[in-house]
């Protein structure tokens, strides 16, 4: 500050005016403001430097599952490619317990408040389904995640059942027994679709594994099962067809890329064939949302507060990673599609229905689960 600006400041030997305070000069006021702005600018620059250093340091990627899970496998393949493209040190993979991904998703949510929060989350679609159904263990909002990579694989309903409503079936109201892992598990799209077809589905829990479900189907314990359209599907379906069991429909949208690779007709097409119309709009949205969630085998998510520049860089890095031979080989071996860029965001948008759809799903579950539990369950 100049001497002229200090000229009006009283020294200790001077007497301070008692009735009138010395006015502050215009130049002194401007000088003080400039000094304050300079200090704020310096502080902002140092804060940016700290953030830049933190961004360039080692980052953690939370895996919602054990290393052998689908999320763990995709994370181990993606992480080296992403680190190289993003010019970052190798990511630290933090695996978690639980097959449904809820534990890892909760951890990702709680650690966002840390000084160095995790960079991203690799999570299965079952964690999203749990949030839709109102699972009490969920403490995260999946609609606040930003998707950058998805692996996609639909499911197929198979069994010995007629999708036509005969007068006898309408009078008897005999339920159609469906093998499921749990009442709100990964088989929910098939159960909901059968309910839309007015076939009175009765879920039989404890049959989440394909081999157990197939054994129950052969034993006559259940009428319908759901199988993933994975690398083993073709052989399993061919064997079941020889025994009289047929694919009923796939839990996929009409333009699913797997329809060109032998996937059975999608549910929308089958419903239109059987009912000569589209399902109720609200119920169809519910089926689409839970099907999209169950068809997501793994997804790489960023927190919602990520900067647009970071999101753009991660999406570009995922797009490049999807072209690498090791990822393409893994996707082919598991019979999955990798979705990046626009296809990724479009697929994830289907998992985010409005509140009315979420409430409709939860009301449907609240109405049916007590009835399912009260009915006599067959011995497995």
149 forms beta bridges with: 300
**Complete edge-to-edge strand list for the sheet that includes strand 176-179:** 201-204, 176-179, 224-228, 155-159, 246-250
Judged by average pLDDT, the poorest of 42-56, 77-91, 158-172, 317-331 is: 42-56
pLDDT at 378: 58
SS3 label, residue 56: helix
CA distances from 143 to 183, 197, 340, 345 (A): 23, 30, 18, 12
The answer to whether 185 touches 232, Cβ cutoff 8 Å, is no
Model confidence, pTM = 0.82
Kindly state the average pLDDT of the residues 223-230. 97
pLDDT band at 276 (very low <50, low <70, confident <90, very high): confident
Judged by average pLDDT, the poorest of 31-35, 82-86, 160-164, 356-360 is: 31-35
Q: Which is higher by pLDDT, 37 or 285?
A: 285
What DSSP letter does each residue of 223-241 carry, written as one string?
A: SEEEEE-STTHHHHHHHHH
Q: Which is higher by pLDDT, 81 or 276?
A: 81
pLDDT in tens, 121-156: 999 999 999 999 999 999 999 999 999 999 999 999
pLDDT in tens, 179-225: 999 999 999 999 999 999 999 999 999 999 999 999 999 999 999 99
pLDDT at 164: 62
Q: Rounded distance, CA 154 to CA 251, Å?
A: 6
Pick the closest to residue 258 from 328, 187, 350, 337 (CA basis).
337
CA distances from 91 to 61, 138, 345, 350, 354 (A): 6, 26, 24, 30, 35
Kindly state the average pLDDT of the residues 247-253. 97
pLDDT at 91: 96
Q: Is the pLDDT of residue 97 over 60?
A: yes
Kindly tell me the burial class for residue 85, based on how many C-beta atoms sit within 10 Å of its own C-beta (0-12, 13-18, 19 or more).
middle
pLDDT in tens, 13-48: 444 444 444 444 444 444 444 444 344 343 343 334
pLDDT band at 113 (very low <50, low <70, confident <90, very high): confident
Share of the chain above pLDDT 70, in %: 81
Share of the chain above pLDDT 90, in %: 75
Q: Which is higher by pLDDT, 7 or 210?
A: 210
How many CB atoms lie under 10 A from the CB of residue 370?
9
Pick the closest to residue 151 from 361, 343, 353, 360 (CA basis).
343
Kindly state the average pLDDT of the residues 287-310. 97
pLDDT band at 68 (very low <50, low <70, confident <90, very high): very high
* Backbone φ, ψ for residue 208 (5° rounding): -80, -25
Judged by average pLDDT, the poorest of 31-40, 80-89, 226-235 is: 31-40
pLDDT at 173: 63
Question: Hey, what are 186's tokens?
Answer: 């990964």
Pick the closest to residue 58 from 91, 93, 94 (CA basis).
91
Q: Is the pLDDT of residue 107 over 50?
A: yes
CA distances from 377 to 82, 219, 287 (A): 49, 15, 25
Q: Is the pLDDT of residue 232 over 50?
A: yes
CB-side neighbour CA atoms (13 Å) of 229:
29
pLDDT at 377: 62
CB-side neighbour CA atoms (13 Å) of 321:
31
pLDDT at 298: 98
């Amino acid at each position: 500050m100049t001497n002229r600006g200090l000229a009006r400041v009283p020294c200790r030997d001077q007497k301070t005016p008692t009735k009138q305070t010395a006015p502050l000069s215009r130049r002194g006021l401007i000088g003080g403001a400039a000094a304050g702005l300079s200090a704020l600018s310096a502080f902002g620059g140092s804060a940016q430097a700290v953030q830049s250093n933190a961004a360039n340091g080692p980052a953690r990627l939370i895996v919602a599952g054990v290393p052998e899970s689908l999320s763990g496998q995709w994370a181990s393949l993606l992480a080296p490619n992403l680190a190289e493209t993003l010019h970052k040190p190798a990511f630290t993979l933090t695996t978690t317990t639980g097959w449904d991904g809820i534990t890892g998703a909760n951890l990702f949510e709680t650690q966002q408040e840390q000084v160095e929060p995790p960079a991203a989350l690799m999570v299965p679609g079952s964690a999203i389904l749990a949030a839709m159904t109102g699972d009490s263990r969920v403490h995260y909002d999946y609609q606040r995640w930003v998707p950058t990579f998805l692996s996609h694989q639909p499911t197929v309903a198979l069994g010995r059942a007629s999708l036509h409503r005969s007068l006898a079936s309408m009078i008897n109201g005999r339920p159609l027994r469906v093998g499921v892992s749990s009442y709100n598990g990964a088989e929910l799209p098939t159960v909901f679709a059968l309910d839309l077809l007015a076939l009175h589905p009765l879920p039989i829990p404890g049959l989440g594994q394909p081999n157990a479900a197939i054994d129950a189907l052969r034993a006559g314990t259940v009428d319908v099962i759901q199988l993933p359209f994975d690398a083993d599907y073709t052989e399993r379906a061919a064997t079941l067809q020889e025994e009289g069991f047929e694919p009923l429909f796939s839990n996929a949208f009409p333009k699913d890329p797997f329809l060109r690779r032998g996937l059975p007709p999608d549910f929308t097409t089958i419903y239109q064939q059987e009912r000569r119309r589209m399902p109720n709009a609200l119920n169809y949205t519910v089926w689409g949302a839970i099907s999209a969630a169950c068809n997501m085998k793994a997804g790489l998510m960023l927190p919602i507060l990520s900067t647009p520049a970071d999101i753009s860089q991660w999406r570009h890095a995922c797009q490049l990673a999807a072209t690498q031979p090791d990822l393409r080989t893994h996707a082919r071996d598991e019979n999955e599609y990798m979705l990046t860029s626009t296809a990724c965001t479009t697929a994830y948008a289907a998992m985010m229905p409005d509140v009315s759809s979420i409430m409709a799903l939860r009301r449907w579950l609240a109405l049916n689960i007590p009835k399912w539990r009260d009915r006599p369950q067959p011995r497995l």
